[in-house]
């Protein structure tokens, strides 16, 4: 249950990321970036917006907070190279909706929590790892956010909850489906979850 609570927070907060110019990144700005996204997410969740209007708001925030196409390619990993162009396009379209539906379906279970940034460290490339604790009911949950400067600004490219990478976990899940049922099987499985 602790992991589910953390996963819900990750999925929700990634959507609420504001975008900062890539050249402006330093560890302090990355920390402010993550803290602001947590605060904005909580405010959004408290709002009365529901249905299609909420989906539209989350879709807009998702586009501002992360590079969905980049994440889609990273999740698919080696299978991206073997997919046809038509499969890639269909996958990216479904991946965006898959992420939106996954997030909104879990919002009902979201308990109001708070995220407190606890520090930053240098990550790979130009990335900054922002460490934080999710505090609320129960034990705090450790979350590490990998923030990368991209052409469109700062973006979250991975989140680790208690040391478990959400990018790698999703990559393994999707890879297992592709191995068993092929790319069309993955696309069907994603559609069914939507």
Say how far apart CA 178 and CA 72 lie, in whole Å: 14
First-to-last alpha carbon distance for the chain, in angstroms, is 23
Q: What is the pLDDT confidence band of residue 53, given thresholds at 50, 70 and 90?
A: confident
Say how far apart CA 189 and CA 53 lie, in whole Å: 26
| Percentage of the chain lying above the pLDDT 90 cut | 44
When the pLDDT of each residue in the chain is averaged and rounded to a whole number, the result is 81
Phi–psi pair at 105, nearest 5 degrees: -70, -25
Say how far apart CA 143 and CA 140 lie, in whole Å: 10
- 192 pLDDT higher than 80: yes
pLDDT digits (tens, 9 = 90+) for 80-93: 999 999 999 999 99
CB neighbour list of residue 7: distance below 8 Å, 6 or more residues apart: 106, 161, 166
CA trace torsion 29, 32, 33, 37 (10° rounding): 180
Lowest-confidence pick of 9-23, 24-38, 163-177:
9-23
């Amino acid at each position: 249950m602790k992991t589910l609570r953390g996963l819900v927070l990750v999925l929700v907060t990634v959507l609420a990321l504001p975008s900062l110019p890539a050249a402006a990144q330093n560890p302090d700005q990355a920390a402010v970036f993550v803290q602001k996204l947590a605060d904005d997410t909580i405010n959004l969740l408290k709002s009365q917006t529901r249905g299609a209007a909420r989906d539209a708001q989350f879709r807009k925030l998702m586009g501002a907070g992360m590079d969905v196409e980049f994440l889609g390619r990273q999740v698919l990993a080696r299978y991206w190279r073997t997919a046809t162009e038509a499969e890639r396009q269909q996958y990216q379209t479904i991946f965006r909706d898959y992420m939106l539906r996954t997030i909104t379906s879990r919002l009902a279970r979201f308990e109001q929590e708070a995220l407190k940034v606890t520090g930053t460290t240098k990550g790979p490339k130009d990335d900054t790892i922002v460490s934080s604790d999710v505090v609320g009911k129960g034990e705090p949950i450790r979350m590490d956010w990998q923030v990368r400067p991209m052409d469109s600004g700062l973006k979250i490219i991975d989140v680790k909850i208690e040391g478990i990478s959400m990018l790698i976990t999703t990559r393994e899940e999707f890879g297992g489906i592709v191995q068993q049922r092929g790319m069309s099987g993955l696309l069907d499985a994603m559609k069914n979850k939507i």
